[in-house]
Amino acid sequence: MSTTDSASLSNEDANEREQSVTPLELFFDLVFVFAVTQITGFLVQNLTWGGMVRGVALLAVVWWAWVGYSWLTNAVPAEEVLPARLVILFAMSAMLVVALSIPRAFSDDAVLFGVAYFVVRASHVVLYGLITPPETREAVLRLAPGFLGAPLLLIAAGFVATRYQSALWAIAIAVDYGVARLRGVEGFHVRASHFVERHRLVVIIALGESIVAIGVGATGLTLDAEIVLAVFSGFVLIATLWWLYFDYITLAAERRLTAIHGQDRAVLARDSYSYVHLLMIGGIIFIALGIEQTLAHVSEPLRLVSAVALCGGGTLYLCGHNAYRYRDHGTVSVPRAVAAVVASLLIPLAVFVPALVALASLTVLFVVLAGFETVRSEFRPEFRPD
C-alpha cells in the first residue's frame, strides 16, 4: 500500500466517527420531496409516451442535483460552517424554483428551469471547491466542466425548437452522468454509514410520495368498497417495496461499503448509490403514478401507458435491486429476477382487466416475493436473526 493510500485510509478511518444525517440535510430533502411530487404531477398531466420520456428526464436531472449535495454534505459538516449553511439554503431556494417550473419545463418555463437548475449546480461546485480539502477540491474541478456544462445545455434547450430541445436534454444528461464515470471519483472520501443512511432516507421520501399519491388519487372520490380495496392494495404494495429494501438488503450493502476504503469505496458509492438508486426511485415513482391512475379508473382497464407505469415500475424497482446487489456482491437474486419478469408480463393483463385487479395482482406478486425471501433467504439470518 502506498503512502498516499495509507494517508487516505487513515483519513477515512478518522472520519468514521459517523454522524447522523443532519437537520440541514433533512431540510434540503424537503425541497426534493416537492420536486418529486411535481414530477409525478407532470406525468399525470402528460400520460403519453413522450410525456413518460420527459418525466424520466426530469427525474434524472433532479436526482443528480440531489446526488451532488449528498456527496457534499457527506464530505463536510456543512451545518456547522456558517457560510456553507447559507450557500446550501440559497441553493434550496433555487431548487424550489426548479420544482415550481417542472410542469412547464419543456414549454413556457424552460429557460427559468434551466437557469434555476444552473444556480443549484453552480452553488454545489463553488461550495465544494471552497470548503473541502485540496485533494477533494482538485477532484471537483476535474468534474466541474461536466457538472456546469450540462445545466448550460438545459438553458440553451429553452431557446430552441422542440425537436432540438429533446436532443439537448439527452446530451446534457449524458454529459452530467458520464463525467463522473469517465473522469473518475479519485480524491473523494466517503463516510460509509452516513452515506448509506442518506440514501435510505431518500428511499423513504420516495415511498412517502407514493403514500401522498394514494391520498391525492382518493381525494374527492366516494369511498365505496372498490376504492377502499384499491387504497388498501396500494398501501400494501408500497409497504412491500419498503420491506424489500429495508429488511436486509441495505444492511448487507452498508457492510460491504464500510469494508472497503479509499478510491474503491468512492467508486462503489458512485455506482451503487448515485447511479443504481435512480432505478429504484424511478420504479417507486412510476408505481405511484400507476396507483393514482388505478384509483381514477378503478373499474376500468388501465391505458397502456398507465399499465406500463404500474407494472413496469415494479419491474424497474426489482431490476434496480438486482443491479444494487450485483454491483455490491457480484450476485443476483433469482426470486427477484423472476418476479421482475412476472411484473412485466402483467402489463398485457392490466389493459384488459379492471385496474383494481391489475393493482391487486401486482401487490400479491410482491407480497409473495417478500414472504418467500423472509422465510427462505439464506442471507437474511445473518442480518436479521429473528
Chunked into runs of 10 residues, the chain (386 residues) has average pLDDT values of 41 52 89 92 93 96 95 84 87 96 95 97 90 85 93 94 89 96 90 93 92 84 89 96 92 92 93 96 95 92 96 97 93 95 96 96 97 85 74
Which residue in 234, 237, 240, 243 sits closest to 215, CA to CA?
A: 234
330: burial class by Cβ within 10 Å (0-12, 13-18, 19+)? Answer: exposed
Hey, what's the torsion of the CAs at 217, 219, 222, 223, to 10 degrees? Answer: 70
Q: What is the pLDDT of residue 386?
A: 63
Q: Could you tell me if 163 and 82 lie in one domain?
A: yes
Residues of the domain holding 223: 192-383
1 belongs to a structural domain: no
Q: Could you tell me if 69 and 171 lie in one domain?
A: yes
8 belongs to a structural domain: no
Tell me which of 182, 216, 241 is where a domain ends. Answer: 182
Which residue in 248, 353, 249 sits closest to 311, CA to CA?
A: 353
CATH of residue 323's domain is: 1.20.1410
Q: Could you tell me if 48 and 149 lie in one domain?
A: yes
Q: Could you tell me if 171 and 301 lie in one domain?
A: no
Q: Cell match 388519487: residue? A: 217
Q: Could you tell me if 168 and 237 lie in one domain?
A: no
3-class state of residue 71 by DSSP: helix
Q: CB–CB of 380/248 below 8 Å? A: yes
Number of domains composing the chain? 2
Q: Could you tell me if 177 and 239 lie in one domain?
A: no
Q: Could you tell me if 168 and 219 lie in one domain?
A: no
| CA 356 to centroid of chain Cα atoms | 27
Q: Could you tell me if 154 and 199 lie in one domain?
A: no
Please give the model's pTM, rounded to 2 decimal places.
Answer: 0.92
The secondary structure of residue 142, as a DSSP letter, is: H
